Amino acid sequence: MNERVQKIRESIIEFGLDGILIQNPVNRRYLSGFSGSAGVLYISKESSVLLTDFRYIEQAKKQAPNFKIINHTTHGFYKEINDLIKKENINFLGFEAHTISYKEYVEYTKSLTAAMKPTYHLIESLRMIKDETEISAIRQAAHIADKAFSHILSYLRIGAVERDIALELEYFMKKNGASDLSFATIVASGAFSSIPHAVPTDKKLENGDFLVMDFGCIYKGYCCDMTRTVVIGKATDKHKEIYNTVLTAQKLALEGIKPLKTGKEMDKIAREYIKSRGYGEYFGHGLGHCVGMEVHENPRLSINEEAKFYPGMIVTVEPGIYIPGFGGVRIEDLVVITEDGIDNLTISHKELIEI
């Protein structure tokens, strides 16, 4: 944590600031270790302070040992901040422009003696490259999700209900070490599987359905994300053609991921193959996104992404084909970009499974 705070100190100096307030809950945890739902970090050239209320003082002392903990309940949050500013002669105080509301900004400008200066994705840029501890946590989250997929295969049958399948996946992941879900589980069958972010319903699995399952969990504060598609009953030639097109596109993309390539370049690999098979109009989302403490992080593997990717970034690779009225296929792995390619954290079987 000290190294991360030191990098922030270097950044605030670079941007002409004397200090910064961190309110984004994910950024707050990344820098301090504090996972409570209420708190603000104050980081200056001299101080590292976590301000929170009475409910979280004990937790904050345990989780953020490198920060001075201030209980702002008695004197008020803005007074406590302003006292710190005056004590350290802070002239320019940064804030996270994408986090605070306009109402909060107005209150800051009224209550604090320092000039408020916006920052944009300062901490998020540090979070892009994962260290070994972070990669290890995401690897374990992916392992739990792989186990959940193996488990759910024995649960699937004609007549099983989408909501029940989602619940079973979620229960299994939490039972096996996950602290929470990365996102709302997607279980979509039949025609509903053509909706990329479908919500599980009371629909029962039927013979001839594609079944898309997109799920993930959180382990030690870090997310994973995976998708697998199966066929209920015997796959037709149309099922096989669509599925194998997506699978080949994904394999080509995985082979083509290299450091210093742009998101646009890597997205193009899968997109061009799917287009060559006549399904270009049915692949309407990006190839993938970064994953970390949040399940959707930047940069993205997408048609317009000019950012380059570097070793230590963790990304999803998830091409799909979605045909309205028939169904859809998505296959998603989670990979670490390495010096010469990738380390695939998702090991679940990808050849077409018929249930």
Over residues 77-81, the mean pLDDT reads 95
| pLDDT (0 to 100) of residue 90 | 96
| pLDDT (0 to 100) of residue 121 | 94
| Fold observed for domain 132-344 | Creatine Amidinohydrolase (3.90.230)
Does the bond joining 299 to the residue before it have cis omega, within 30 degrees of 0?
A: yes
B/e letters for 192-222, b = 16+ CB within 10 Å, e = fewer, are bbbebebebeebbbeebbbbbbbbbbbbebb
Question: Domain 2-127 belongs to what architecture?
Answer: 3-Layer(aba) Sandwich (3.40)
Over residues 258-286, the mean pLDDT reads 98
Residue 234 has pLDDT above 90, yes or no: yes
Contact 270/257 with Cβ under 8 angstroms?
Answer: no
CA–CA dist 83, 49 (Å, integer): 12
Over residues 224-247, the mean pLDDT reads 98
Residue 72 has pLDDT above 70, yes or no: yes
Q: How many CA atoms lie within 13 A of 68 on its CB side?
A: 12
End-to-end CA distance of the chain: 47
CA–CA dist 339, 354 (Å, integer): 37
Contacting residues for 100 by C-beta, under 8 A, at least 6 apart: 23, 108
Give the tens place of pLDDT for each residue, 312-350: 999 999 999 999 999 999 999 999 999 999 999 999 999
Residue with tokens 């998708």: 227
* Tokens matching residue 243: 């599925």
What are the two backbone dihedrals, phi and then psi, of residue 317, each rounded to the nearest 5 degrees?
-130, 105
CA–CA dist 318, 334 (Å, integer): 9
CA–CA dist 65, 67 (Å, integer): 6
Give the tens place of pLDDT for each residue, 273-301: 999 999 999 999 999 999 999 999 999 99
Give the tens place of pLDDT for each residue, 3-47: 999 999 999 999 999 999 999 999 999 999 999 999 999 999 999
CA–CA dist 355, 232 (Å, integer): 5
Examine domains 2-127 and 132-344 and report if their fold is the same.
no
The residues spanned by each domain of the chain are 2-127, 132-344
- What are the E-state strand segments in 253-346? 288-290, 297-301, 314-317, 320-323, 327-330, 333-337, 342-344
Q: What percent of the chain has pLDDT over 90?
A: 98
Residue with tokens 């200066």: 117
Contacting residues for 180 by C-beta, under 8 A, at least 6 apart: 174, 217, 218
| pLDDT (0 to 100) of residue 74 | 87
Contact 352/235 with Cβ under 8 angstroms?
Answer: yes
The SS3 of residue 46 is coil
**Mean pLDDT computed over every residue of the chain:** 97
Residue 114 has pLDDT above 70, yes or no: yes
Q: What percent of the chain has pLDDT over 70?
A: 100
| pLDDT (0 to 100) of residue 1 | 59
Give the tens place of pLDDT for each residue, 150-164: 999 999 999 999 999
Over residues 88-100, the mean pLDDT reads 96
pLDDT band at residue 2 using 50, 70 and 90 as cut-offs: confident
* Tokens matching residue 236: 């037709």
Contacting residues for 288 by C-beta, under 8 A, at least 6 apart: 267, 300, 301, 315, 316, 317, 318, 332
